[in-house]
Amino acid sequence: MIKLNKQALKFICLGLALSITITFIAGKAYQSWDNDPQRGAIGIENGEFNESYSTPVYLNQGWSASDSLWYYNTTQGSALLPYDFYLSLEQKNSQVPVRDNMNMDKYRYLPQKPTFFNPDGLAVGFVKETYQGKEYMGYTCAACHTSQVNFQGKGIRIDGGPAMADMVGFLTSLEAAMKQTINENEKRERFVKNVLALKNDYKNEEQVMADLEKWTEATQLYNTINHSKVKYGHARLDAFGRIYNRVLQYVLSKENVKDALIAVTSPSGRHILSQPEVDKVLEGVNETILGNDDFSLIIERLMSKEPGYPGLSVKETLYVRNALFNEPNAPVSYPFLWDIAQSDYVQWNGLAGNSGLGPLGRNTGEVIGVFGILDWTATDTGFSLSSLLTGQDHKRQHINFKSSINLVNLQRLESHLKSLQSPQWPEEILGSIDQEKAARGQRVYTQYCQSCHEVIDRSNLDRKVIAQMSGLEHIGTDPAMAENSVLYKGKSGNFEHTYQDVDVGTVLITETAPVVQTLTSATKGVVATPDADKWWIRRVADWFYTVGLSFFNNDIKASVKNGNYNPDTTANPYNSLLAYKARPLNGIWATAPYLHNGSVPTLYDLLLPVKREGDPDEGAYRPDTFMVGSREFDPVRVGFRSEGYQGTRFITQGRGNLNTGHEYAAGRTAQMNGTVLPALDDQQRWDLIEYIKTL
């Protein structure tokens, strides 16, 4: 054991204090370094969606230009692919770069010009990340939580608004571009030349090609694992399903995978893998915990036609996927972020409590999902805080949760969001609000809406936002997201037979367990692991700084959920998650499409009933199909234009896409107290819409 004398202890404590002080002062100072008055925003002429708009303007949301730019460009630890690759990669069947503004606009990411924090002019939320001496391109919060509204050639940027992004389309196109780069000589030669010309992380062609093949396999693996029969399209993502799958991918043991592969069957009940084939596929992979490289090798071997390997088809490979992972088939709208730091519970189904270290754990889980590098390995027994907090202290081996996830920045970002306010209706652009109609609409709102959607003062620094939960059987909206969060299970790996505290007691994690338990343990492990990229004193200091501020600077205390939902029980400890959350509607005008799964295009449509069997054909109903992807705003019905534009055809059929429920205004959904109010007439609907514009 190393013994330290008083002088050494004094020196270490002084170093810790100094490091914490420097971290705090430097963190505050550099946030103001990028102060471009347009916040990097640029206009688009004849974009992919035939939309043109001038340089977007910003509304008063409590943030300065430097506040917005810091938010756009602050890394979380996400690493989608090497930075040199992203700068050099061409689109499939084109010499135009993937990062070209028109291509990013196609996937509804927001183009930017170069600024101090973004010298290469990447789209909002795309950023350079450094980890273990190498540079990567990854996502920031802003990629999914910054939006834009266009009206008659004018653009309005909304900080914290729900993105219109088609992430699945972008990642699919990225995989296709990388594969073509490997396979076509001229494209490959240009790519290698452009990467080497950067004189950054690569010295020769062999290094470039080795990493291109590695990252292409990783992207293909991610897209395969997360393939879904439910089309997401624009403005939606099954983030939880993908986070769940990524956690499973990095905690599974060789034995877990072996058991699953032996059991895989086709729909007819035929086992598609023999024991010798399984043994050959798993030959040489890690025992305690598999990673990305192991899974890429397993998929390659499963599809190999060489002697001894099973030679599975793509469809059969998906049977394997289903045995190890869960189909992420519950896409939801990207949530808006204003008032999130003041909320007691967050996520669409209130899964995440916001007290104490809750925000740090929630954001850690998010970065796990958006390509944080997870260098998780199995280590021999020895004390660590992460093994203690995850219940692995009695295990023969522990998971070491080393990763690229930047806990310091996650804490700073959450703190930064405290000053973000919802956007107010810009009358000078979208038209004046009829105050007489709005006054009548306020009375309708008080009767029909306010019991769930509290009216708050957006600028009140002391505000608290209370989630009002409604059980699935009460609200009647699409159940997929809530059900998946509770019902999805997977192998728990090294977390098997560890204990975890839940609201109603302590659970003992089984071999096949709810993925929410595995995610909880994994995020605890990452939060308990200091940054791998820093000198050890700085690592410890930053960790204390981050955890201390996250805990003591959080005004939200633990509290019981409000609303009409089924409580957790010892038999069903996640019952309360089978519900959806209502929150204040300030700024809701800028967050279309509506309902948690984006299945209703405008606020006016949301006030209409769903057409049921037996309803007269001539009635007014929510649309069964509409286009998503346009940013052109409809200030009358309040939402985006949904016809006559390119984008994704949304068909409101099947689990995950249903536009049912929340029919309070149609007289078909009961209020919290069980009362069903009469349906609004058309004048009342328009009055209510006018009032909602004022929130």
Contacts 24+ apart (CB under 8 A), 310-319: 310/272, 310/273, 310/274, 310/277, 310/281, 312/272, 316/266, 316/272, 317/224, 318/224, 318/227, 319/264, 319/265, 319/266, 319/272
Rounded to an integer, the average pLDDT of 313-334 is 93
Tokens of 641: 């234009």
C-alpha distances out from residue 550 to 26, 181, 359, Å: 18, 44, 8
C-alpha distances out from residue 542 to 150, 167, 341, 601, Å: 42, 32, 22, 45
pLDDT at 8 over 50: no
pLDDT at 285 over 70: yes
- CA pair distance 479, 484, nearest whole angstrom: 8
* Contact status, residue 493 vs residue 500, Cβ threshold 8 Å: no
Helices (H), ranges, 529-625: 536-552, 603-606
* Contact status, residue 211 vs residue 294, Cβ threshold 8 Å: no
| Opening angle at CA 624, ends 678 and 173, nearest 5 | 135
In one letter, which amino acid is 6?
K
538 or 92, which is more confident? 92
Rounded to an integer, the average pLDDT of 77-81 is 97
Minimal CA–CA distance to 407: which of 62, 16, 27?
Answer: 27
Tokens of 214: 């590695």
- CA pair distance 521, 401, nearest whole angstrom: 11
The sign of the dihedral angle between the CA atoms of 333, 334, 335, 336 is negative
C-alpha distances out from residue 626 to 593, 629, 648, 663, 689, Å: 10, 10, 8, 19, 20
pLDDT for position 13: 54
pLDDT for position 4: 40
Averaged pLDDT score across all residues of the chain: 93
- In sequence order, the β-bridge partners of residue 194 are none
pLDDT band at 1; cut points 50, 70, 90: very low
pLDDT at 20 over 70: no
C-alpha distances out from residue 77 to 26, 80, 132, 138, Å: 19, 10, 11, 7
* Contact status, residue 77 vs residue 367, Cβ threshold 8 Å: yes
- CA pair distance 534, 532, nearest whole angstrom: 6
* Contact status, residue 510 vs residue 266, Cβ threshold 8 Å: no
516: left (phi over 0), alpha (psi -120 to 50) or beta: alpha
Which residues contact residue 10 at a Cβ distance below 8 angstroms, ignoring those fewer than 6 apart?
A: none
Give the number of other Cβ atoms within 10 Å of residue 209's Cβ: 17
* Contact status, residue 423 vs residue 587, Cβ threshold 8 Å: yes
Helices (H), ranges, 418-479: 427-430, 435-448, 472-475
pLDDT at 6 over 70: no
Minimal CA–CA distance to 138: which of 367, 407, 403, 415?
Answer: 367
Domain-by-domain residue ranges, the chain? 239-324, 337-422+471-582, 427-457+587-692
- In sequence order, the β-bridge partners of residue 44 are 53
In one letter, which amino acid is 664?
Y
690 or 396, which is more confident? 690
- CA pair distance 345, 560, nearest whole angstrom: 10
Strands (E), 568-642: 579-582, 625-628, 633-634, 639-640
C-alpha distances out from residue 612 to 617, 619, 633, Å: 10, 11, 29
Rounded to an integer, the average pLDDT of 89-94 is 98
DSSP 297-336: HHHHHHH--STTS----HHHHHHHHHHHS------EEPPP
Give the number of other Cβ atoms within 10 Å of residue 691's Cβ: 23
Percent of the chain with pLDDT over 70: 96
- CA pair distance 610, 668, nearest whole angstrom: 10
pLDDT for position 211: 97
User: Phi, psi (5° rounding) for residue 455?
Assistant: -90, 125
pLDDT at 553 over 90: no
Tens-place pLDDT, residues 441-481: 999 999 999 999 999 999 998 999 999 999 999 999 999 99
pLDDT for position 521: 95
pLDDT band at 95; cut points 50, 70, 90: very high
Q: Which of 20-29, 46-55, 191-200, 662-671 has the lowest mean pLDDT?
A: 20-29
* Contact status, residue 633 vs residue 692, Cβ threshold 8 Å: no
- CA pair distance 165, 147, nearest whole angstrom: 9
pLDDT band at 593; cut points 50, 70, 90: very high
Q: Is 331 buried (19+), middle (13-18) or exposed (0-12) by CB count in 10 A?
A: buried
- CA pair distance 624, 626, nearest whole angstrom: 7
Give the number of other Cβ atoms within 10 Å of residue 674's Cβ: 8
443 or 33, which is more confident? 443
Tokens of 435: 């105050």
Cis peptide preceding 276, ω within 30 of 0 = no
Element (H, E) at 470: strand 468-471
pLDDT at 163 over 80: yes
pLDDT band at 417; cut points 50, 70, 90: very high
Minimal CA–CA distance to 655: which of 219, 330, 304?
Answer: 330
Rounded to an integer, the average pLDDT of 329-334 is 98
Tokens of 519: 């995610």
Element (H, E) at 154: strand 154-159
Q: Are strands 345-346 and 648-651 parallel, antiparallel or unpaired?
A: unpaired
pLDDT at 293 over 90: no
Tens-place pLDDT, residues 362-392: 999 999 999 999 999 888 867 788 989 899 9
Give buried/exposed letters for 130-145 (b at 16+ CB in 10 A, else e): ebeebbbbbbbbbbbb
